[in-house]
Structure 1
Amino acid sequence: MKVLIATVKPFAPAAVEGIKKELEGAGHQVVLLEKYGSEAELLSAVSDADAMIVRSDKVTKDVLNAAKNLKIVVRAGAGYDSIDTAYAKEKGVVVENTPGQNSNAVAELVFGLLVYAVRNFYNGKAGTELKGKRLGILAFGNVGRNVARIAKGFGMEVSAFDEFVPADKIEAQGVHAAKSRDDLFETNDIVSLHIPATAETRQSINYDVVNKLPKNGILINTARKEVIDEPGLLKLLAERTDLKYITDIKPDADADFQKFEGRYFSTPKKMGAQTAEANINAGIAAARQINAFFKDGDTKFQVNK
């Protein structure tokens, strides 16, 4: 089988080597397409591929239509909103992700950003400490659980809410289970977002929700840009000069957010999974899932059933 690795943002060389070792060891042919500049390049490369590994690359209807032999696409990472999963299902193409492989990297980034924020972006003025602060985690999946683990090391009081995770499961991790999303915002100094971008969550973090944060509250988003109602958040930041917004996903209205100097920070590019370890883990997991699919028909991580 021909497996295409299509990555605008390439894997680390060690990851590519590991992916090739897994796939070629199972008898597959590997084709590498890195830093491509247009969809046309991708359409050409995928035309005879049986399988595909991507990162944040967009797998659109046009890509799926061009891929006549495609049977499986694996997103090396957790989020898969860049893939048209519904159309892939129509075409009989399995879409998988690699949950958990990037979770520690994202969780560590949360605290790198938080320390930077509470120390006033290292501007020389006295800041505050995380110890004793109340941290709310919205969604308690792989990343959320890792955030909770690290927060305890900082001596923080940790709460979480996830409508798909029962309260007793959250409490079993030594984390307080908030009654609702609103309760989470009302009772925590900092709220960290780890929700996916779905029809239900897009722009759900809006003016009214964020306004429930107590005085000097911090919203941190290492999830998805689409979950933020940007006009609403901009309006709130203008009204409440005590709030901070920290993210590794540059908003569409970045120039407008930049006006809130000392209360807003965004990394130039999405950084959650940008570690050597996460890069390698996610890539090799994707390769192994493709091997399992072709060998045994394994679709354990399918997201478009």
Structure 2
Amino acid sequence: MKILVATEKPFAKVAVDGIRKEIEGAGYELALLEKYTDKAQLLDAVKDANALIIRSDVIDNEVLDAAKELKIVVRAGAGYDNVDLEAATAHGVCVMNTPGQNSNAVAELAFGMMIMAVRNFYDGKSGTELKGKKLGIHAYGNVGRNVARIAKGIGMEIYAYDAYCPKEVMEGDGIVPVDSAEALYETCNVVSLHIPATAETKNSINYDLVNRMPKNGLLVNTARKEVINEADLLRLMNDRPDLKYVTDIMPVHHAEFAEQFPGRYFSTPKKMGAQTAEANINAGIAAAKQIVGFLKDGCEKFRVNK
């Protein structure tokens, strides 16, 4: 069995070493395709691969057509919208992610951006504190729970909305559950987004929803850019000079946001949430372990396609 690690943005060496230990320790062959610059290189490399570990690399129908021996793809990270799930299912390929491995890294970045924003992006002027403010967590999954943990230490009042998480779970964590996204935004000074990009959520963060935030509201996005209705947010920030927006996913209209809202908007140059040494190592090794479990025992615990 041949396991291919195909990463345009490579794992750290220590992560590759950990992946190698898991794969070769199970008696499989490990192959690396790092820093490739052309899709043709990926198409050639997957021809005889039985399993594939990727990061943000795009796995579409063309790649799956080329990978005649492929049984499983594992995305080292939580999001998996770079993989065509329907095409994978049609090709008989199992797709998994590695939920939770990057969660603390993303949560810490969310707070780094929050603090930067309430301190006026460190421009020398007096800012505000997060302590005592109301934080809204939009989606209470792995990242949201880490955000809540950090917020407790800072001394924030914590609210959450998640249609799929039982209220008892949130209450057990000392979080106040609310019944709707609208209630969350009406209540909270800061809202941190952790929703996936689905047909239901795309463009759902719109004018009406964000406009419900109290004066001097702060919206933090470490989720996906597709969930933001950018035209609505541009219009709202023009109408509401008190609002700020910070994001880990550069908007399509980044230049307009930056030009129109200096001191109220910030975007990282690329998605940075999982870009820590620890997350890099954790996600890579988790991916290797899941592949071994799938190939040896048929374990599909983290399967995301049907």
TM-score (norm 2): 0.99
Partners of 1:205 and 1:253 in 2: how far apart? 15
The total of aligned residue pairs comes to: 305
Partners of 1:168 and 1:292 in 2: how far apart? 32
Partners of 1:228 and 1:40 in 2: how far apart? 33
CA-CA distance at 1:27 after TM superposition: 1.2
Post-superposition CA distance 1:63-102 (Å, at most 9, x none): 1111100000000011101100111011110000001000
Cross-structure match for 1:85: 85
Cross-structure match for 1:108: 108
The answer to whether 1:300 aligns with 2:301 is yes
Partners of 2:38 and 2:191 in 1: how far apart? 37
Cross-structure match for 2:266: 265
Question: After TM superposition, which residue ranges in structure 1, 4 or more long, deviate above 3 angstroms?
Answer: none
Partners of 2:117 and 2:10 in 1: how far apart? 30
Summarize the alignment of residues 22-101 of structure 1 with structure 2, pairs less than 5 Å apart.
22-101=22-101
- Unaligned regions of 5+ residues in structure 2, if any? none
The residue matched to 1:258 in structure 2 has which SS? helix
CA-CA distance at 1:291 after TM superposition: 0.5
The residue matched to 2:294 in structure 1 has which SS? helix
The answer to whether 1:278 aligns with 2:279 is yes
Aligned residue type for 1:276: A
CA-CA distance at 1:207 after TM superposition: 1.0
Partners of 1:66 and 1:214 in 2: how far apart? 52
Partners of 2:247 and 2:39 in 1: how far apart? 28
When the two chains are superposed, the root-mean-square deviation of aligned CA atoms in Å is 0.7
CA-CA distance at 1:30 after TM superposition: 1.0
- Unaligned regions of 5+ residues in structure 1, if any? none
Post-superposition CA distance 1:183-211 (Å, at most 9, x none): 00000000000000111111111111111
Summarize the alignment of residues 235-246 of structure 1 with structure 2, pairs less than 5 Å apart.
235-246=235-246
CA-CA distance at 1:223 after TM superposition: 0.4
Identity %: 66
Post-superposition CA distance 1:230-278 (Å, at most 9, x none): 1111111111100000011111111001021000000111010011111
CA-CA distance at 1:35 after TM superposition: 1.4
The answer to whether 1:163 aligns with 2:163 is yes
Partners of 2:77 and 2:295 in 1: how far apart? 20
TM-score (norm 1): 0.99
Aligned residue type for 2:277: A
Partners of 1:161 and 1:216 in 2: how far apart? 21
Comparing 30-39 and 156-165, the one that deviates more = 30-39
Aligned residue type for 1:294: L
CA-CA distance at 1:39 after TM superposition: 1.4
Partners of 1:124 and 1:175 in 2: how far apart? 34
CA-CA distance at 1:112 after TM superposition: 0.6
